Amino acid sequence: AQSVTQPDIHITVSEGASLELRCNYSYGATPYLFWYVQSPGQGLQLLLKYFSGDTLVQGIKGFEAEFKRSQSSFNLRKPSVHWSDAAEYFCAVGSGGYNKLIFGAGTRLAVHP
């Protein structure tokens, strides 16, 4: 069965530090992969997506993610975190068919000044 694992429930970083959020997936075919962010009181916002092609994907707000098929991973990175990046981040895989998404449990990011 398809699944997404985000091993880190909570991460705290200092402002200006680099960030990497981990995501591992289980999917039989070539996956469609997504990262979403939810800020307090907001809906889920798409940061970036991978369908095919270049395995390093650029997204909004300075985020990028790298698809590594051999590791079944799609980790999210940002070179320098801003206080406004404090939010909850969700990795998801598209399960084909009717474009249903399967989400991980989320990683809550706190940013220290």
Partner 1 sequence: EAGVTQFPSHSVIEKGQTVTLRCDPISGHDNLYWYRRVMGKEIKFLLHFVKESKQDESGMPNNRFLAERTGGTYSTLKVQPAELEDSGVYFCASSQGSSYGYTFGSGTRLTVV
Nearer to partner 1, 10 or 80 (CB): 10
User: To the nearest whole angstrom, how small is the minimum distance from the Cβ of residue 83 to partner 1?
Assistant: 21
Q: Which helix (H) or strand (E) holds 87?
A: strand 87-94
22 is a contact residue toward partner 1 (CB under 8 A): no
Site stretch for partner 1 (CB under 8 A), options 52-60, 63-71, 77-85, 96-104: 96-104
Count of H helices and E strands in the chain? 0, 12
Site track for partner 1 across 41-80, x = CB under 8 A: xxxxxx--x-------------------------------
* DSSP, res 30: P
Alpha-carbon gap, residue 92 to 90, rounded angstroms:
6
User: To the nearest whole angstrom, how small is the minimum distance from the Cβ of residue 80 to partner 1?
Assistant: 27
CA of 68: how far to CAs of 1, 5, 16, 55, in Å? 20, 15, 26, 7
Nearer to partner 1, 48 or 81 (CB): 48
